[in-house]
Chains A and B, each alone.
Chain A
Amino acid sequence: MAAASSLHVAAPVATPRVGSSAGNRSASAARVVRVAAAGSGAARAGGRLVARAAVAAKENSPARAASKSDGHEVLLFEALREALIEEMKVDPTVCVFGEDVGHYGGSYKVTKGLAEMFGDLRVLDTPIAENSFTGMGVGAAMKGLRPVIEGMNMGFLLLAYNQISNNCGMLHYTSGGQFKIPVVIRGPGGVGRQLGAEHSQRLESYFQSIPGLQMVACSTPYNAKGLMKAAIRSENPVVLFEHVLLYNLKEKIPDEEYVLCLEEAEMVRPGEHVTILTYSRMRYHVMQAAKTLVNKGYDPEVIDIRSLKPFDLHTIGNSIKKTHRVLIVEECMRTGGIGASLRSAIIDNFWDYLDAPIMCLSSQDVPTPYAAPLEDATVVQPAQIVAAVEQICR
Chain B
Amino acid sequence: MVAAAVLRHLGAGTARRVVALPLTLSRGVSDSTEPLTVETSVPYKSHIVDPPAREVATTPRELVAFFRDMSVMRRFEIAADSLYKAKLIRGFCHLYDGQEAVAVGMEAATTRADAIITAYRDHCTYLARGGDIVAAFAELMGRRDGCSRGKGGSMHFYKKDANFYGGHGIVGAQAPLGCGLAFAHRYRKEDAVTFDLYGDGAANQGQLFEALNMAALWKLPAILVCENNHYGMGTAEWRASKSPDYYKRGDYVPGLKVDGMDVLAVKQACKFAKQHTLENGPIILEMDTYRYHGHSMSDPGSTYRTRDEIAGIRQERDPIERVRKLILTHDLSTSQELKDMEKEIRKQVDTAIAKAKESPMPDPSELFTNVYVNDCGLESFGVDRKEVTSVLP
A17 to chain B, nearest CB (A): 9
A135's partner among B147, B149, B175, B384 (CB-CB below 8 A) is B175
Which residues of B159-190 have CB atoms within 8 Å of chain A's CB atoms?
A: 159-160, 165-170, 173, 175-181, 183-188
A145 with B378: in contact, given A51-B391, A131-B176, A236-B372 (CB under 8 Å)? Answer: no
A21 with B374: in contact, given A51-B392, A345-B383 (CB under 8 Å)? Answer: yes
Residues of chain A with a CB closer than 8 A to B369's CB: 177
Q: Evaluate contact between A175 and B167: CB separation under 8 angstroms.
A: yes
In the complex, what residue of chain B is closest to A126 when comparing beta carbons?
Answer: B214
Q: Evaluate contact between B181 and A139: CB separation under 8 angstroms.
A: yes
B390's partner among A138, A176, A178, A317 (CB-CB below 8 A) is A317
Kindly state whether residue B156 has any CB partner on chain A within 8 Å.
yes
Tell me which of B47-55, B95-103, B205-213, B321-329 binds A.
B205-213
Kindly state whether residue B230 has any CB partner on chain A within 8 Å.
no
A140 with B372: in contact, given A129-B210, A175-B158, A310-B380 (CB under 8 Å)? Answer: no
Kindly state whether residue A166 has any CB partner on chain B within 8 Å.
yes
B71 to chain A, nearest CB (A): 28
Most buried by B among A21, A126, A139, A166: A139
Interface bits A292-332 vs B (CB < 8 Å: 1, else 0): 00000000000000001111011001100100000000000
In the complex, what residue of chain B is closest to A130 when comparing beta carbons?
Answer: B210
In the complex, what residue of chain A is closest to B153 when comparing beta carbons?
Answer: A174
In angstroms, Cα B184 to Cα A122, docked, is 11
Which residues of B109-140 have CB atoms within 8 Å of chain A's CB atoms?
A: 115, 117
Most buried by B among A21, A22, A129: A129
In angstroms, Cα B378 to Cα A220, docked, is 24
Residues of chain B with a CB closer than 8 A to A53's CB: 393
A174 with B388: in contact, given A129-B213, A135-B207 (CB under 8 Å)? Answer: no
A139's partner among B167, B179, B188, B377 (CB-CB below 8 A) is B179
In angstroms, Cα B156 to Cα A55, docked, is 46
Q: Evaluate contact between B184 and A341: CB separation under 8 angstroms.
A: no
Residues of chain A with a CB closer than 8 A to B181's CB: 139-140, 142-143
In angstroms, Cα B388 to Cα A345, docked, is 11
Kindly state whether residue B382 has any CB partner on chain A within 8 Å.
yes
A341's partner among B156, B159, B383 (CB-CB below 8 A) is B383
A311's partner among B178, B383, B393 (CB-CB below 8 A) is B383
Residues of chain A with a CB closer than 8 A to B306's CB: none
The binding surface of chain B is classed by DSSP as loop
Q: Evaluate contact between A121 and B187: CB separation under 8 angstroms.
A: yes
Kindly state whether residue A70 has any CB partner on chain B within 8 Å.
no
Q: Evaluate contact between A212 and B148: CB separation under 8 angstroms.
A: no
Residues of chain A with a CB closer than 8 A to B170's CB: 162, 166
Kindly state whether residue A261 has any CB partner on chain B within 8 Å.
yes
Kindly state whether residue B370 has any CB partner on chain A within 8 Å.
yes
In angstroms, Cα B164 to Cα A178, docked, is 11
B392's partner among A124, A132, A134, A317 (CB-CB below 8 A) is A317
In angstroms, Cα B251 to Cα A327, docked, is 58
Q: Evaluate contact between B211 and A132: CB separation under 8 angstroms.
A: yes
Interface bits B358-393 vs A (CB < 8 Å: 1, else 0): 000000000001111111111111111110111111
A310's partner among B211, B376, B384, B393 (CB-CB below 8 A) is B384
In angstroms, Cα B207 to Cα A158, docked, is 14
B219 to chain A, nearest CB (A): 11
In angstroms, Cα B383 to Cα A263, docked, is 11
In the complex, what residue of chain B is closest to A15 when comparing beta carbons?
Answer: B376
Residues of chain B with a CB closer than 8 A to A262's CB: 376, 378
A358 to chain B, nearest CB (A): 14
Residues of chain B with a CB closer than 8 A to A309's CB: 383
Residues of chain A with a CB closer than 8 A to B389's CB: 348-349
In angstroms, Cα B360 to Cα A56, docked, is 50
Kindly state whether residue A108 has any CB partner on chain B within 8 Å.
no
Residues of chain A with a CB closer than 8 A to B117's CB: 139
A181 to chain B, nearest CB (A): 9
Kindly state whether residue B217 has any CB partner on chain A within 8 Å.
yes
In the complex, what residue of chain A is closest to B372 when comparing beta carbons?
Answer: A236
In angstroms, Cα B184 to Cα A317, docked, is 43
Q: Which 9 A-B residue pairs are closest in the complex by CB-CB distance?
A: A139-B180, A135-B176, A139-B177, A176-B149, A345-B384, A132-B176, A132-B210, A129-B210, A136-B180
9 pairs across A/B with beta carbons < 8 Å?
A22-B374, A46-B379, A137-B180, A143-B115, A145-B187, A174-B148, A175-B166, A212-B381, A311-B383
16 further A-B pairs in the complex, CB-CB below 8 A; given A143-B184, A174-B158, A176-B149: A20-B376, A22-B374, A45-B377, A49-B388, A129-B207, A132-B179, A132-B211, A135-B173, A140-B187, A174-B152, A178-B159, A179-B158, A214-B372, A317-B390, A345-B383, A349-B384
